[in-house]
Structure 1
Amino acid sequence: MRAVPAPKVWVTGLTVGATAIVVALAVQADKGAKPTVSAAPRPSASATADPKPAESESPKSKRVPDGSGTGRRIVYSLGENRVWLVDASEATRRTFAVWPGTVDPEPGKYTVGQRTEDPITGSDGVRIEHVVYFAVRSGVNVAFSNAVDGSSPPPPADGARTGGIRMSDKDGSALWAFGTAGTTVTVVK
C-alpha cells in the first residue's frame, strides 16, 4: 500500500508552486513596455477671445514694484495687470497676471475685509469663488476672484461697472490661502 502525503504537504506544495508562477509572471511583466502618460493640452474654457493671462511665473521673474510698501502683503499693479504675494521677509511667494474689472481701485493701501470661498455669481453673471474683497470705489466692490469653470471674464456689457479682478483657478486658490482677513493690499499704478 502506498503512503498518501498529508494534506498539509499538498497545500504547501501548491502554495509554493503558485507563488513561483506569480513571481515568474511579475518578472516578465517588469521587462515589458511601460505605459506612459502624455500631457495633451487642456482645452481653453475661455468665454472670450481674449488671451489668458500668462501662467504663474517664477517669483524671481518679475520684481515687486517700487513703492509697494514692506512686510507681508498683496501687491496689485494697475499698469501691469499683475499681482504679487509677498511674505514678511520680502520674498515673492507667487506672481501672476490678472484680468481687471472695469472699475479700478485707487492706488494706495487697503486691507482684506470680507472673504467668500463658496461660489457666488459675480457682477458679470459668472460663477466665481475665492472672493477676497479689499476696496469699494464709487459704490462698486473691488475683489480678487476666479471663475469656477476657469474661464476668462466675458466682455463687459456697455457701461457695466465690474470690480472683479479675475485670475486662474490655481492663482485664485493661492491668493485665497495668502489673503486672510487683515492682510494688506497695496495698489500701485
Structure 2
Amino acid sequence: MARSSSGFVAGLTVAAIAVVGFLAYQASANVPDSLGKPQAKKSAPVTTSKGPQQNKKKPAVLPGGSGTGERVVYSIGDDRVWLVGAGNKVQRTFKVTPGTVDPLPGTYPVTSRTASATGSDGTPVEHIVRFASNGGVVIGFSAAIDGSTPKPDTSKKLGGIRESRADGTAMWEFATSDQKVVVVK
C-alpha cells in the first residue's frame, strides 16, 4: 500500500512540475524584449507640489499627497502619469487620455494585466494594466496598437486610460501585479 501511494504522489509531483514549466514557458513568451535591459533615461529629480494641479512647465514635479516608494501616480486633473522608482525618483512621466469614468482618488494595487485585447471602445489595445473600478466600470491603462489616443465617446462608460505605445510599454514593464497605483485629483 505504501509503495503505490508513493508512486501516486510521485506522479502528481511530476504532473505539477510539468504544468508549472508550461506556464513559465507561456509567461516568458509574453515578456517584452527590453525587460531587464538597462534604461538609458536619467531620472528626473523628485519635488512635490503643494496642490493637486501641476506646474505645466515642470511636469516631473510629483503632485502633493502622492505617497512614497515605488508607485504609479495618476493625476485625474492633469491627465498625467508618473512612474516613480526606488529612492522616490521619477523614472518617466507622460500625458494620457482618460476614459469617461475616472477612478476615485486613493491607492490601489495592479489587479490584472493582459498583453493584448480589444478595448471597451472596440479598439485593439496592448499592455493593459488594470487597477480599479468605479460604478462597475473597470479602469486601467492601455495603448492602442495603432498608436491613437482619441478623445473617448462620452455616450459610453469607458475606463480605459490611453497612453502612447512607448509609454504603454514603459507602464507594462513597470506596473507588475500588485504594484501600487496612487490616484490624485
Task: Please report the TM-score for the alignment, with normalisation by the length of structure 2.
Answer: 0.68
Gaps of 5+ in 1: 1-57
Structure 2 partner of 1:181: 177
Mapped contact 2:84–2:90 kept (Cα < 8 A): yes
d(CA) in 1 for partners of 2:151, 2:105: 25
d(CA) in 1 for partners of 2:147, 2:134: 26
Is 2:155 the partner of 1:159? yes
In the alignment of these two chains, the number of paired residues is 132
Give the superposition deviation at 1:88: 2.1
Q: Given residue 130 of structure 1, which amino acid in structure 2 is its aligned partner? A: H
d(CA) in 2 for partners of 1:169, 1:147: 7
d(CA) in 1 for partners of 2:111, 2:178: 6
Mapped contact 1:124–1:154 kept (Cα < 8 A): no
d(CA) in 2 for partners of 1:137, 1:162: 10
Instruction: Give 3-state SS (helix, strand or coil) of 2:142's partner.
Output: strand
Is 2:120 the partner of 1:135? no
Percent identical: 53
User: In angstroms, what is the RMSD of aligned CA positions?
Assistant: 1.8
Instruction: Give 3-state SS (helix, strand or coil) of 2:173's partner.
Output: helix
Deviations 1:111-139 (A, max 9, x none): 0011001x211111100010000001101
1:125 to 119, 122, 127: 122
Structure 1 partner of 2:143: 146
d(CA) in 2 for partners of 1:153, 1:107: 24
Judged with a 3 Å threshold, the aligned counterparts in structure 2 of structure 1 residues 64 and 146 are, in CA distance, closer, same or farther, namely same
Judged with a 3 Å threshold, the aligned counterparts in structure 2 of structure 1 residues 133 and 155 are, in CA distance, closer, same or farther, namely closer
| Structure of larger gyration radius | 1
Q: Given residue 87 of structure 1, which amino acid in structure 2 is its aligned partner? A: G
Please show how residues 84-123 of structure 1 align to structure 2 within 5 Å: 84-117=82-115, 119-123=116-120
Deviations 1:39-95 (A, max 9, x none): xxxxxxxxxxxxxxxxxxx83542011100000000000010000000120000000
Structure 1 partner of 2:67: 69
Q: Given residue 59 of structure 1, which amino acid in structure 2 is its aligned partner? A: A
Q: Given residue 84 of structure 2, which amino acid in structure 1 is its aligned partner? A: V
Instruction: Give 3-state SS (helix, strand or coil) of 2:88's partner.
Output: coil
d(CA) in 2 for partners of 1:138, 1:164: 14
Give the superposition deviation at 1:152: 1.5
Gaps of 5+ in 2: 1-42, 46-57
Mapped contact 1:98–1:165 kept (Cα < 8 A): yes
Instruction: Give 3-state SS (helix, strand or coil) of 1:176's partner.
Output: helix
